[in-house]
Amino acid sequence: MSNLDFDPFDDVAVRLEAVTMRYDSPEDVLSDINLVLKPGSFTFLTGASGAGKTTLLKLLYLALTPTQGDIVLFGQRTSLLNRDKLAALRRRVGVVFQEFRLLDHLTAYENAALPLRVLGRKPADYREDVEDLLRWVGLGPRMNAKPPTLSGGEQQRVAIARALVSKPDLLIADEPTGNVDPEMGARLMRLFIELNRRLGTTVLIATHDLALIREFDAPLLRLSHGLLARDVEFGASA
């Protein structure tokens, strides 16, 4: 790796430097975004529909390249990395999608284990770890069930297990409680908090649920008209 690829003095998990994003329009979806997420931090992201939350998350898990500015993940400046190095960096990021994206013909266990299977790992090497992870998210008795037979909350927990199975350094969750009832939403949040505290995983959760934000004290970032600001409305800790 070139010395230009890595900043040894960068002790942050995520750094966005004057990032601007626009699609096929002169209007910016995101404008001059500067953001730092420290290792082991837990942060909420909120904003109205169309504010650019999904675009920001896609930039963070490297599904998009910014129109302007730069993204640094784990000390690596992504604009200087080739395809293989970017792929390796993506594997350090776990993503929980709002729409689950589970494969209906696979069991809960097989869905959760899919990232390891794609990497060519042998089932005998990871079976115990995946089963332990599914038990941790409360799906021990349901690990052989397929998604169509699972409730929304159970499917979301499979999606969380799949995002965690490769032990990511950064976990990004897009509206993880949007399709479940408040009780299940609180339970999912406790899983994220335990993950953050026990393993030191950096967690960023995008949500519209202001009641949830009020209940779990954490720094809050708000997107509005493509601009990002730290929100002090709920007294979130720094």
How far is 207 from 201, CA to CA, in rounded Å? 19
Q: In the predicted model, is pLDDT for residue 143 greater than 70?
A: yes
**The length of the chain, given as a count of residues:** 238
**Would you say residue 189 has pLDDT above 90?**
no
Q: Judge whether 115 and 137 are in contact, CB under 8 Å.
A: no
pLDDT in tens, 49-70: 888 899 999 999 999 999 999 9
What's the whole-model pTM score?
Answer: 0.87
Structural domains of the chain, ranges and CATH numbers in brackets:
39-64+83-231 (3.40.50.300)
The model's pLDDT over 159-184, given as tens digits with 9 standing for 90+, comes to: 999 999 998 999 999 988 877 778 87
Strands of the chain, DSSP E: 14-21, 30-37, 42-47, 68-73, 76-77, 93-96, 170-174, 202-206, 220-224, 227-231
Q: How many CB atoms lie within 10 A of CB 170?
A: 22
Q: Which amino acid is at 174?
A: D
Per-residue model confidence as pLDDT tens digits over 104-136: 999 999 999 999 999 899 999 999 999 999 998
Crossing angle of helices 152-164/123-136, nearest 10°?
130
